């Protein structure tokens, strides 16, 4: 993508292909507003910047009405990207949008914007930092509230400030070393050593925190999934339904009814979570089933929160329960059965075994059946399903607590930043091991210089053009 082109550009900021009440078309980078006079019924020379005007958009040559529109003029540099920008709010019909775009492209010296070009200009004109642009990308393209929040942080410059702080710390450390080399007579060995040690400590503390943020696992936050696992007929679908508070999954007492994944969304504390019901985990020779089982296992490793539902009265319970340690939560179901307590007693040795306690074995189960004649067997046409008692609330609370803990770490999720922070961190570790055995200040200082170049890459000082291209290729048009 060639970003070097200048001149006025046009694009629909709200997407060209969907019908909506309003769409916004932006023109950016023109010299004088009045060059578009022929398109509008209002005298453009009277337009005050950042005021809203209702007018008619006309064909510049034929004068016929194209649409009824609202205009806002942003005069550079007080605009999104420091250029002159005209925003046209038109009716959100794809045909109208295409007509207007075409009209300007054919009849004026305006060309269609490349993806991300508005923002590129904002970057070039220093309205946004690279971190801010990357944050914007998150806001526009991410699937979760968490990412949107992260994007906003980046857009508001929180990350950039942190990086500048990091740079300040490295500059201080570098200066303390240079002080010890060039001005040792003035400062003396003692104050040199103490300043150096203090600078290293401060840098280390800051970098450890940053590195933690950049290395913590976050992918599950992007689109958090709660996945229910368990042997056939253990009660997954019942749990699923009660989490959803209505009946969606087909529930029967015939083993293997839920053959494919069923997904729904639930809302916890205003955040969306995807709820997934899986096929049984039990080994089977049936082809379709075994494929499903493979998928199930990979899903368990990737999902945000995994729940294992097992029935202690099932003869295979011992084998199933051995997997419990791989899950966030294990629910023992069918407590209504006459042999439930007996079974728990039978396996009590198993529960006390520490190895299994790792599995978040919880007492929130058993899940009670919905009808008095369990096993879980709600029949259509019968009385509405009653919500589960305390169990579901506990589950939700546990999911939310895991989610908010992860969020508190305020992970840095921009891949470029994660990579770069990681490599800074590695260099710093190498620097630390170097100063343990090396007394040669020139070598130490040299290592520090390489470290500070890594840090400057983060703030954008040494950023190569490819990095920028990558950033912009992820953009859709009109932003």
Q: Return residues touching other proteins (CB under 8 A).
A: 123-124, 126, 129-130, 160, 163-164, 167-168, 171, 178, 180-186, 188, 437-443, 445-446, 450, 453, 456, 459-465, 468
- Return the number of the residue (47 or 444) whose C-beta is nearest other proteins: 444
Q: Among residues 257 and 463, whose Cβ is nearest to other proteins?
A: 463
**Residue among 182 and 386 whose Cβ is closer to other proteins:** 182
Give the pairing type, strands 65-74 and 52-58.
antiparallel
Residue 360 CB contacts under 8 Å (≥ 6 apart), including other chains: 327, 328, 329, 330, 398
Q: How far is the CB of 210 from other proteins (least distance, A)?
A: 16
Compare residues 123 and 367 and give the one whose CB is closer to other proteins: 123
Report, in Å, the least distance between residue 157 CB and other proteins.
Answer: 11
The minimum distance between CB 135 and other proteins, in angstroms, equals 15
- DSSP-derived letter for residue 18 is S
Q: Which residues pair with 90 in a beta bridge?
A: 23
Rounded to whole angstroms, the Cα distance separating 181 from 337 reads: 80
Nearest to 376 by CA among 471, 244, 239: 239
Q: Kindly give, in sequence order, each residue whose CB lies less than 8 Å from that of residue 89, ignoring residues fewer than 6 positions away.
A: 22, 23, 24, 25, 69, 70, 71, 72
Among residues 72, 87, 160, the alpha carbon closest in space to that of 118 is found at: 87
CB of 17 to other proteins, least distance (A): 32
Contact between 87 and 64 (Cβ < 8 Å)? no
Minimum gap (Å) between residue 441 Cβ and other proteins:
4
Q: At what angle do helices 189-215 and 158-182 cross, to 10 degrees?
A: 160
Cβ nearer to other proteins, comparing 166 with 279: 166
Contact yes or no for 60/99 (Cβ under 8 A): no
The distance of closest approach from Cβ of residue 446 to other proteins in the complex, given in angstroms and rounded to an integer, is 6
For residue 230, with 0-12 CB atoms within 10 Å meaning exposed, 13-18 middle and 19 or more buried, which class applies?
Answer: buried
Q: Quick one: which of 121, 119, 115 has its CA closest to 151? A: 119
Closest CA to 69 of 50, 93, 102: 93
Q: Can the peptide bond before residue 459 be classed as cis, meaning omega within 30 degrees of 0? A: no
CB under 8 Å to 456, separation ≥6 — which residues? 167, 462
Choose between 157 and 375: whose C-beta lies nearer to other proteins: 157
How near is the Cβ of 26 to other proteins at its closest, in Å? 23
The distance of closest approach from Cβ of residue 466 to other proteins in the complex, given in angstroms and rounded to an integer, is: 11
Least distance from C-beta 445 to other proteins, angstroms?
8
Tell me whether residue 45 or residue 433 sits nearer to other proteins (CB atom).
433
The candidate with the shortest Cα–Cα distance to 399, out of 229, 267, 217, is 267
**Between 1 and 41, CB nearer to other proteins:** 1
Closer by beta carbon to other proteins, 43 or else 165? 165
């Amino acid at each position: 993508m060639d970003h070097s082109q200048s001149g006025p550009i046009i694009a629909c900021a709200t997407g060209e292909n969907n019908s909506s009440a309003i769409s916004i078309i932006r023109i950016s980078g023109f010299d004088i507003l009045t060059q578009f006079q022929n398109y509008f019924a209002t005298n453009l020379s009277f337009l005050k910047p950042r005021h809203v005007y209702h007018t008619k958009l006309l064909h510049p040559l034929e004068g016929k009405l194209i649409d009824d529109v609202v205009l806002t003029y942003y005069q550079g540099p007080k605009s999104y990207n420091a250029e002159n920008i005209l925003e046209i709010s038109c009716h959100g019909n794809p045909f109208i949008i295409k007509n207007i775009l075409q009209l300007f492209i054919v009849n004026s010296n305006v060309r269609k914007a490349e993806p991300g070009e508005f923002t590129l200009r904002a970057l070039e004109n220093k309205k946004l930092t690279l971190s801010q642009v990357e944050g914007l990308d998150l806001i526009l393209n991410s699937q979760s509230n968490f990412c949107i929040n992260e994007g906003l942080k980046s857009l508001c410059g929180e990350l950039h400030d942190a990086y500048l702080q990091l740079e300040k710390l490295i500059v201080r450390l570098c200066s303390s070393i240079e002080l010890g080399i060039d001005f040792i007579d003035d400062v003396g060995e003692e104050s040199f050593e103490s300043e150096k040690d203090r600078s290293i400590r401060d840098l280390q503390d800051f970098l450890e925190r940053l590195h933690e943020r950049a290395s913590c696992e976050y992918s599950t936050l992007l689109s958090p999934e709660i996945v229910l696992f368990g042997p056939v007929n253990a009660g997954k679908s019942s749990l699923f339904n009660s989490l959803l508070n209505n009946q969606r999954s087909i529930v029967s007492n015939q083993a293997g009814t839920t053959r494919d994944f069923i997904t729904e969304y639930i809302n916890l504390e205003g955040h969306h979570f995807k709820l997934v019901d899986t096929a049984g985990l039990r080994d089977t020779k049936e082809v379709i089933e075994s494929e499903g089982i493979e998928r199930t296992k990979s899903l368990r490793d990737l999902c945000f929160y995994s729940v294992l539902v097992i029935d202690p009265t099932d003869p295979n319970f011992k084998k199933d329960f051995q997997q419990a340690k791989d899950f966030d939560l294990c629910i023992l179901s069918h407590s209504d059965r006459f042999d439930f307590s007996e079974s728990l007693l039978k396996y009590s040795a198993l529960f006390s075994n520490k190895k299994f306690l790792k599995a978040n074995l919880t007492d929130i189960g058993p899940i009670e059946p919905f009808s008095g004649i369990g096993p879980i067997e709600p029949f259509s046409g019968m009385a509405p399903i009653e919500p589960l008692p305390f169990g579901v609330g506990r589950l939700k609370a546990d999911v939310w607590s895991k989610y908010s803990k992860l969020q508190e770490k305020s992970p840095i999720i921009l891949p470029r930043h994660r990579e770069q922070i990681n490599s800074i961190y590695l260099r710093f570790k190498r620097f630390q091991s170097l100063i343990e055995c090396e007394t040669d200040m020139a070598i130490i200082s040299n290592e520090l210089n390489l470290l500070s170049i890594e840090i400057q890459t983060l703030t954008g000082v040494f950023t190569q053009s490819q990095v920028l291209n990558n950033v912009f290729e992820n953009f859709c048009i009109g932003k």
